[in-house]
Amino acid sequence: MEAGALPLHDLPDHGDHHGPPEANRSSRVDPQVLGMLLFIISEVMVFGAFFTAYFFIRVVNGDAWPAQGDELPKLVAGFNTAILLSSSLTMHWTVVAAKANNRFAMKAGIFTTFLLGLSFLFIQVNEYVHIGFAPSSSAQASIFYGLTGLHGAHVFIGLLLLFIVMVRVFRGHFTPEHHDGIEVPGIYWHFVDIMWVVVYTTVYIL
């Protein structure tokens, strides 16, 4: 041993941690939640581009909405809106059940949410089949299909997430301490529901 060197047992104890230190978290928001919120902000911008086109056609140009000869199924869309808003309530019920460790309520909530979302998408596709005009019929028709189709794509992605969550719920993967796998997709699903209220109000009602 060299002069002045400390014996191994006298070296200071730095713990068992090896490798680089953990990343500094400057935000109190959970990283998964923060990531989803940032993703949602980017998606709002995408919807904003379509709403800008809608604004120019209807407000700036003053064109009739919908185009002459076209009619929007407001009643069917209203019924579909009620379905999607109900799915937001059942999604919230699922998260609350996860925090309370209520396995039955978790299963019932996520299964009902998935069925409601699937029903919404089925009715939306059926609306396209019977609506009577195509995206190429007019500028108004292009914006209608663009906005509702973009939202439908988000519903489809949300259903994929809900299906994954449902499988994990039925396998008992979540606990009151670890339920981010339900809460984060739930945030996305609430976003999808809110965006539909905006689309429904501007496209079908106003």
Share of the chain above pLDDT 70, in %: 86
Residue 20: pLDDT band with limits 50, 70, 90 = low
How many of the other CB atoms lie within 10 Å of CB of 193?
21
What digits encode the pLDDT tens for the residues 96-132? Answer: 999 999 999 999 999 999 999 999 999 999 999 999 8
Q: Which domains does the chain have, with CATH numbers?
A: 30-205 (1.20.120.80)
Task: Indicate if the pLDDT at residue 33 is higher than 60.
Answer: yes
What is the average pLDDT score of the chain? 87
Q: What is the DSSP string of 21-63?
A: PPPP---SS-HHHHHHHHHHHHHHHHHHHHHHHHHIIIIIS--
7, two tokens: 């014996």
Residues 6+ apart with CB under 8 A from 156: 121
Q: Is residue 13 over pLDDT 70?
A: no
| Helix (H/G/I), strand (E/B), else coil: 90 | helix
Q: Which residue has the higher pLDDT, 142 or 3?
A: 142
Can you say how many angstroms the Cα of residue 194 is from the centroid of all Cα atoms in its chain?
9
Distance CA 148, CA 155 (A): 10
Range 26-46 average pLDDT? 83
Torsion, CA 174, CA 179, CA 182, CA 187, rounded to 10 = 180
pLDDT at 8: 46
pTM of the model as a whole: 0.83
